[in-house]
């Protein structure tokens, strides 16, 4: 049994977890870098093979986590160039892995990897831009791929990738913004589509889109920040919607959203740090969604990025819109 094993409880009518006194409270950097290196080198594990459908994002989570710890020599640029170029499709878009279809999720991850390892000039940028432009619908919304499922996540992916490639002018920005504003609810939050329930991940995507397009003044920051601040549970962890359990990735979606609004001090930092550090696996390294659960690269990136927003323990400063270090973004950093 793991020392950090958490007991799920629903005291005070609120789903939450208990944090053991023996849970880690400092950042276990060397364990995390060993965890990431091992994760990407053991390509026959069930965990690795079964996540092929999201591989490009998986690689971004690993590369991003290492960059936050200022570790750059653990993987070669050549290896990443081969992986990314091997996933560009005829449509210009990039897929999760060879043999899969292109999608805006993996296209953004590929662009982020190329920015971190400085090989954007090796990409077929015109092809990527054509694929992203093609995803916009007449009402300003974006589909994720040729099947055109609509989601504000995809709006963020397209605009973030175009911004990083200096090609934001390719799509209809006023229409994109109009669509995002239609996805805002009366509670101040945003959903996947007009009328969908508020969700912290979607709020991040919509505020990120408004930050990229310079239109943040179109939202009332107080109302949205109130909804976000109410995500903090007694354990210190943040959930993504009312009555859900806290999850370390929401440390990112919620805190980054608050940071974009300039209201990061609306959460209790001490309790937040306690929750995130308790989600570390002190045997294998890596972060899990909740204390005692299995770690994975996704929660490892967002755990470290959350701690960076809290300015903990020499982690590289992170940009709240792109979840990339300010160091690699340079003058492209927005927040
Ligand atoms: C929760 O998803 C998270 C979201 C909806 C936001 C996802 C954002 C992106 C894919 C854009 C890329 C972001 C960055 C930082 C590069 P979930 O499916 O885990 O939700 P659940 O907790 O409700 O299951
Ligand atoms: Zn999560």
Confidence (pLDDT) at 72: 87
The ligand whose atoms approach the alpha carbon of 240 most closely is 1
pLDDT band (50, 70, 90) for residue 14: low
Residue 9's pLDDT is 45
- Ligand 1 nearest atom to the CA of residue 240, by list position: 22
102 half-sphere exposure, CB direction, 13 A CA radius: 27
pLDDT in tens, 120-130: 999 999 999 99
Which ranges of the chain does DSSP label H, i.e. alpha helix?
A: 29-41, 46-49, 55-68, 77-85, 104-116, 125-134, 152-164, 173-182, 200-212, 221-229, 248-260, 269-278, 297-309, 326-329
pLDDT surpassing 80 at residue 4? no
d(CA 107, CA 157): 8
Tell me which residue has its CA closest to atom 1 in ligand 1.
Answer: 201
Q: Which DSSP string corresponds to 40-64?
A: HH-TTSHHHHTTGGGHHHHHHHHHH
| Domains recognised in the chain with CATH numbers | 25-332 (1.50.10.20)
Percent of the chain with pLDDT over 70: 96
Q: How confident is the model at residue 15 (pLDDT cuts 50, 70, 90)?
A: confident
- Distance from the alpha carbon of residue 202 to the mean position of ligand 1, in angstroms: 7
**Mean pLDDT of all residues in the chain?**
95
Pair of tokens at residue 29:
């950097």
CB distance 290 to ligand 1 below 6 Å: no
- Please give the distance, rounded to the nearest whole angstrom, from the Cα atom of residue 90 to the centre of ligand 2: 33
Inter-residue contact 278 to 270 (CB < 8 Å): no
If one compares 312 and 256, the residue with the highest pLDDT of the two is 256
Which ligand has its closest atom nearest to the C-alpha of 250? 2
Distance CA 228, CA 240 (A): 9
Average pLDDT over residues 143-165: 98
Q: Residue 10: its pLDDT value, please?
A: 44
Check whether 174 has a pLDDT greater than 70: yes
Give the pLDDT mean for 182-196. 98
Q: Provide the Cα torsion 206, 212, 217, 223; round to 10°.
A: 30
pLDDT at residue 133, as a whole number: 98
Q: Is 253 in the pocket of ligand 1 (CB under 6 A)?
A: yes
Average pLDDT over residues 82-93: 97
Residue in 226, 248, 224, 227 with CA at minimum distance from that of residue 236: 248
| pLDDT above 90 for 12 | no
- Atom 18 (ligand 1): residue with closest C-alpha? 201
- 85 contact partners, CB below 8 Å, separation of at least 6: 122, 123
Whether the pLDDT of residue 289 is over 50: the answer is yes
Specify burial of residue 221 (Cβ count, 10 A radius: 0-12, 13-18, 19+): middle
* Confidence category of residue 13, pLDDT binned at 50, 70, 90: very low
- Look at residue 88 and tell me whether its pLDDT is greater than 50: yes
> Ligand 1: does its nearest atom lie under 6 Å from the Cβ of 205?
yes
CA 248 to chain CA centroid, Å, is: 11
pLDDT per residue over 28-77, tens digit each? Answer: 999 999 999 999 998 989 999 999 999 999 999 999 999 999 998 999 99
The predicted model gives 243-248 an average pLDDT of 96
Consecutive H or E run containing 324 = strand 324-325
Compute the distance between CA of residue 249 and CA of residue 64 in angstroms, rounded to an integer.
Answer: 14
CA of 250 from ligand 2 middle (Å) equals: 6
> Mean pLDDT throughout 192-219?
98
How far apart are alpha carbons 203 and 48 in whole angstroms?
A: 30
Nearest CA-CA partner of 322 in 208, 180, 225, 195: 208
β-sheet bridge partners, residue 232: 238
Which pLDDT belongs to residue 269? 97
Q: 3 pLDDT exceeds 70?
A: no
Tokens of 153: 């996540």
Say if ligand 1 is within 6 A of residue 157 CB. Answer: yes
pLDDT over threshold 60, residue 204: yes
Atom of ligand 1 nearest to the CA of 241: 23
Alpha-carbon distances of 22 from 62, 84, 261, 278, 292, rounded to whole Å: 27, 41, 35, 9, 11
Residues in the chain: 335
Helix, strand and coil percent figures for the chain, each rounded to 5? 50, 5, 45
Of the candidates 163, 83, 180, which has an alpha carbon nearest to the alpha carbon of residue 125? 163
pLDDT at 281 (0 to 100): 98
Cα(264)–Cα(259) distance, integer angstroms: 5
């Amino acid at each position: 049994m793991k020392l950090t094993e958490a007991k799920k409880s629903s005291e005070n009518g609120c789903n939450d977890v208990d944090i053991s006194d023996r849970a880690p409270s400092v950042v276990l950097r060397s364990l995390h870098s060993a965890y990431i290196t091992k994760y990407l080198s053991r390509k026959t594990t069930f965990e690795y093979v079964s996540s092929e459908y999201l591989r490009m994002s998986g690689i971004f989570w690993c590369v991003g986590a290492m960059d936050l710890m200022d570790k750059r020599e653990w993987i070669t640029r050549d290896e990443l160039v081969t992986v990314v170029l091997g996933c560009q499709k005829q449509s210009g878009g990039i897929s999760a892995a060879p043999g899969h279809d292109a999608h805006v999720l993996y296209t953004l991850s590929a662009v982020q990897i190329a920015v971190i390892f400085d090989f954007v000039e090796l990409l077929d940028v015109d092809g990527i831009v054509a694929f992203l432009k093609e995803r916009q619908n007449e009402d300003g919304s974006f589909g994720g791929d040729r099947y055109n499922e609509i989601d504000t996540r995809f709006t963020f992916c397209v605009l973030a990738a175009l911004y990083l490639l200096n090609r934001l002018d390719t799509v209809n920005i006023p229409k994109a913004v109009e669509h995002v504003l239609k996805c805002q609810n009366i509670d101040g939050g945003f959903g996947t589509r007009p009328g969908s329930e508020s969700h912290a991940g979607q709020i991040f995507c919509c505020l990120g889109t408004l930050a990229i397009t310079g239109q943040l003044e179109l939202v009332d920051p107080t109302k949205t920040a109130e909804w976000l601040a109410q995500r903090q549970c007694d354990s210190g962890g943040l959930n993504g919607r009312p009555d859900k359990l806290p999850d370390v990735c929401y440390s990112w979606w919620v805190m980054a959203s608050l940071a974009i609004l300039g209201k990061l001090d609306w959460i209790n930092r001490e309790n937040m740090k306690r929750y995130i550090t308790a989600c570390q696996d002190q045997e294998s390294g890596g972060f899990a969604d909740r204390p005692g659960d299995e770690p994975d690269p996704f929660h490892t990136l967002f755990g470290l990025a959350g701690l960076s927003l809290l300015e903990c323990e020499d982690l590289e400063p992170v940009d709240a819109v792109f979840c990339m270090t300010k160091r690699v973004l340079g003058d492209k950093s927005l927040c």
